[in-house]
Structure 1
Amino acid sequence: MSRKVPFEATLEVRDTCLCLHVQRAARALARRFDEALRPVGLTHGQFSLLNALNRPQPATLGAVARLLVMDRTTVTAALKPLERDGLVSIQADPSDRRSRLLTLTGKGLETLASAVPIWRETHAALEAGLVPSSPDGLRAALLALC
C-alpha cells in the first residue's frame, strides 16, 4: 500500500518551511563563526557557553541551560572539553551539593576576551549584509518563534 507524495509538495516544503530555512541559516552561521573563532581555539558553541558564564556570580548549570535553550545533559557534555582545557571551573554549590556552579577561569576569561573582537567583527559583517531587512527586525521575528 504505497502512497505517493507529489514532487510539488517537496518543492513547497523546500520553498516555504520556516524550520528548514532557520536550520539552514543556523548551520551557515555556525560554520562562519566556527571559522572566524578558530584562531582562538573555540567553536561558536563554546564561545556562546563561555559568554553565558561571563557574569559577576557563578552560574548554575540550570541557568545556563535555560539561557542557551539546551538540556542540562547537553550543557554538561559541552562543558567537559572546556573544563579539560582549563577554561571553565565546575564546583559543587556549597549551599546545595547536588547543584553545580560554573565559572570562567583566568584562562577562560583571556580566551573570551580574545574571541569577543573576532565575534564583533564577524557579527558586524553579517549584519551589514542583512539588506533590506533590519537586524533588529530579524531578531524580533526569530524571538517571536521561541
Structure 2
Amino acid sequence: MPGGLSYSQLRLLGTLEDIQPVTQHRLAQALPVSDPAISRALRPLETAGLVQACQDPEHVRRRLVSITEVGSKPSTTTGNRSTPSCVPPCSKPASRMSSTCATPPGSPGS
C-alpha cells in the first residue's frame, strides 16, 4: 500500500475526504464500523498527521474530523484529491475536550 498504509486506512482516508468535516460517529456510520473501532482507527492517522480532530463548536462532546493536507496527497490516498478550501484547520490538536475548530467562512460566529 502507498505510504505504508493498510487498505482499511486508505478507505477511511478516502471516505473522510469525501464527507469532511464530519463527526467520528458519522464517519463510523459511513464506513460502516462501530464508534470504538473508528476511534481506534483514527488514532494512528492523527499521530501521523494525516487527519486532525477538534471539538465541534456546536456540541462540546463531539469531535469533528478532517483530513490534513499531508493526508490528502495522492501518495497517501487512493485518488488525486485535495482538501477543500472551505474545511477550516483546527486551531489546536484535539484533546478530549479542550480544543475548538476554526469557524468556517460564512457560518455563524465568523
Q: CA RMSD in A?
A: 1.4
TM-score (norm 1): 0.50
Higher relative contact order (CA 8 A, sep 6+): 2
For residue 52 of structure 1, report the CA deviation from its aligned partner. 1.3
2:72 to 89, 109, 113: 109
Query: Residues 51-70 of structure 1: matches in 2 within 5 Å?
Result: 51-55=14-18, 57-70=20-33
| Bigger helix fraction | 1
Query: Residues 1-146 of structure 1: matches in 2 within 5 Å?
Result: 37=1, 39-55=2-18, 57-110=20-73, 113-114=74-75, 115-116=77-78
Number of aligned residues: 78
Task: After the TM superposition, list the runs of 4 or more consecutive aligned residues in structure 1 that deviate by more than 3 angstroms.
Answer: none
Cα deviation per residue 1:37-86 (whole Å; 9 max; x = unaligned)?
Answer: 1x422100100110111036401111111111111001000000000000
Unaligned runs of 5+ in 2: 80-110
Unaligned runs of 5+ in 1: 1-36, 118-146
Cα deviation per residue 1:89-117 (whole Å; 9 max; x = unaligned)?
Answer: 0101001011110000111011xx22426
User: What is the identity percentage for the equivalent residue pairs of Structure 1 and Structure 2?
Assistant: 36
User: Structure 1 pair 56/74, CA: closer, same or farther in 2 (3 Å)?
Assistant: closer
Higher Cα Rg, which structure: 1
